[in-house]
Structure 1
Amino acid sequence: MASTETVEVDGLRLAYRRAGHGPTVMFVHGGIEDSRSWTPQLDALSDEFTVIAWDEPGAGGSEDVPDGFRLSDYADCLAGMVRALVGSPTAVVGLSWGTTVILEMYRRHPAVVRSMVLADGYAGWRGSLGAEEADARLAAVRAALAEPDEGFDPTLPGLFAGEPPAPFVPLLDAMAADVRRRSMLTALTAMAQADLTEVLPTVQVATLLIWGALDARSPLSVARDFERRIPSATLAVIPDCGHVSNLEAPGPFNALVRGFLHDHG
């Protein structure tokens, strides 16, 4: 059973969930999510690992994002949490927007990263999808945020290959209900503006790429680009799976992460 705790990093109170004992692995959620999105991973992997899932600033139990918050600030906060809770380089696992935060953290604080798993991710929307698509996605976000409360739906399109997996629908609904509009805009603006393609060739730690074969948000072409650019990266593709692979295919996802952690800590 995961416990929810808080830690102060760079003047912000940040929440996180922790479970298990053993080597530590830090989970970094996607946009418009919080640490609850990693529930099946915390449940499955806590038998032999200390699993920690953060609530980024502005999500879950963490404090709101301050004015002017940028991608670099998310990365600094994540690095600060690693230092505060682990005190040594750790494995990090990210999904979607979480991979962008991890790559920025690696650029700014490479010493805190022991190994990384990047799932269905981006080197920023601009970096992986191009300026036109990044701008179109940000415009769609702004349009959703302009809706009145009764019409506001923060859910991005194309998250799953089919219908959302029934066991996780209540979880998805609960996270969507807790989305803060200002935080959503801050994070997804940072995502739209980011181009971290120059970081990929600098990665010198073991890296596993996990992608849903039917990911419509970050297509396999992005995965192939990551595989080409990141030295020694290994790509694992989960069949019949979309963007949120950790929830749509938790069994295969967990097995891939477990095997990688056995090999690379």
Structure 2
Amino acid sequence: MKINVNGYEIAYQITGEGEDTVVILQGWGTELATYNSVAACISDRYRVVQFDFPGFGASDEPREPWAVEDYAKFFLDFMAALGIQKATLIGHSYGGRVIIRLAARESLPFTIERIVLIDSAGILPKKTWKQKMKIRRYKMLKKIVSLKLVYAICPRLIDEWRNRQGSADYRNASPMMRQCLVKAVNEDLTELLPRIRQDTLLIWGDLDTATPITDAKLMEEKIPGAGLAVIPGTGHFSFLENPALFRSIMQAYFA
């Protein structure tokens, strides 16, 4: 299904028929179907909404580079379009960033009942000296290869170099979504964590390298009343890597 929100065609689906609503906010570069197993954990008791953010899956791409706050504002309009006045929010990776932004606000036009953050992004890692030097070297090379004369001399070599830069998410994104991703990964939401007032469950893979377990422990420390459930032997998609244990955790929390 699709719904028009502020001129954007947004893909979404609703499963379950419970009185209470749960909305799943996706991770970067995924599509809503990635979270079907998450929805299935609780759809026997809850109405579960899945959707694609603008620029994700089958939804229209933003017409300008959006920061996390822009996605948070969009989500408010999406909730209004569906007439949802209260819901529990589940966020994986990038979706967690948006939830943190929303939950830290003084007031919202809808009520967040509970929060589940799965391998959530939001903590800006401290860069080592080696990483800082690598970034500095990259910026210098970027300036050089951006010169028209240099590109004219060896365009293929420069294109190959550009295609090797950045993370897999960055390389696979469109030019517009690359700008959105850069805005996200350079934002640290740590200072917002103590403002989250909702009951919060953190679910994490202990082998996650994208958002390491140290991020989870910091969130558990900073978010009042937060609890952490670790899924051993899993990475950034812990809910897919050990679906049985993930299902048990979810069903216990939503019992």
Q: In the aligned structure 2, how far is the partner of 1:260 from the partner of 1:65?
A: 35
Q: Give deviations 1:33-65, integer Å, cap 9, x for gaps.
A: 121210212334322211111100011121111
Matches within 5 A, 1:15-164: 15-22=11-18, 23-108=20-105, 110=108, 111-123=110-122, 127-130=123-126, 146-147=162-163, 155=168
Q: Is 1:192 matched up with 2:181?
A: no
Q: In the aligned structure 2, how far is the partner of 1:117 from the partner of 1:154?
A: 26
- Residues matched between the structures, number: 228
Are residues 24 and 190 of structure 1, via their aligned partners in 2, closer, same or farther at CA, if it must alter by over 3 Å?
A: same
Matches within 5 A, 1:163-202: 180-202=173-195
**Per-residue deviation at 1:155?**
4.1
1:164 aligned residue: none
**Per-residue deviation at 1:180?**
4.7
Question: What letter is aligned with 2:234?
Answer: C
2:233 aligned residue: 240
Q: In the aligned structure 2, how far is the partner of 1:145 from the partner of 1:118?
A: 36
Are residues 74 and 116 of structure 1, via their aligned partners in 2, closer, same or farther at CA, if it must alter by over 3 Å?
A: same
Q: In the aligned structure 1, how far is the partner of 2:212 from the partner of 2:204?
A: 8
1:167 aligned residue: none
Are residues 35 and 260 of structure 1, via their aligned partners in 2, closer, same or farther at CA, if it must alter by over 3 Å?
A: same
Q: Give deviations 1:126-164, integer Å, cap 9, x for gaps.
A: x4313566996xx7xx999943xxx9997459xxxxxxx
Question: Is the partner of 1:72 in helix, strand or coil?
Answer: helix
Q: Is 1:258 matched up with 2:234?
A: no
Q: In the aligned structure 2, how far is the partner of 1:212 from the partner of 1:35?
A: 21
Question: Is the partner of 1:257 in helix, strand or coil?
Answer: helix
Q: In the aligned structure 1, how far is the partner of 2:168 from the partner of 2:248?
A: 27
Out of 224, 230, 246, which is 1:231 matched to? Answer: 224
Q: In the aligned structure 2, how far is the partner of 1:144 from the partner of 1:31?
A: 24
2:5 aligned residue: 9
TM-score, length basis structure 1: 0.76
Q: Give deviations 1:206-261, integer Å, cap 9, x for gaps.
A: 10000101111111111110010000000000111111112112222222223223
The answer to whether the 8 A contact 1:82-1:112 is kept is no
User: C-alpha root-mean-square deviation of aligned residues, in Å?
Assistant: 3.0
Are residues 237 and 86 of structure 1, via their aligned partners in 2, closer, same or farther at CA, if it must alter by over 3 Å?
A: farther
Q: Give deviations 1:66-93, integer Å, cap 9, x for gaps.
A: 1132211111111222233252121011
TM-score, length basis structure 2: 0.78
Question: Is the partner of 2:104 in helix, strand or coil?
Answer: helix
After superposing the two structures, state which structure 1 stretch, 51-60 or 186-195, moved more.
186-195
Q: In the aligned structure 2, how far is the partner of 1:112 from the partner of 1:49?
A: 16
Q: In the aligned structure 2, how far is the partner of 1:78 from the partner of 1:251?
A: 30
Name stretches of at least 5 consecutive residues in structure 2 with no aligned partner: 143-158
Are residues 44 and 215 of structure 1, via their aligned partners in 2, closer, same or farther at CA, if it must alter by over 3 Å?
A: same
Larger CA Rg, structure 1 vs 2:
2
Are residues 131 and 153 of structure 1, via their aligned partners in 2, closer, same or farther at CA, if it must alter by over 3 Å?
A: closer
Question: Is the partner of 2:124 in helix, strand or coil?
Answer: helix
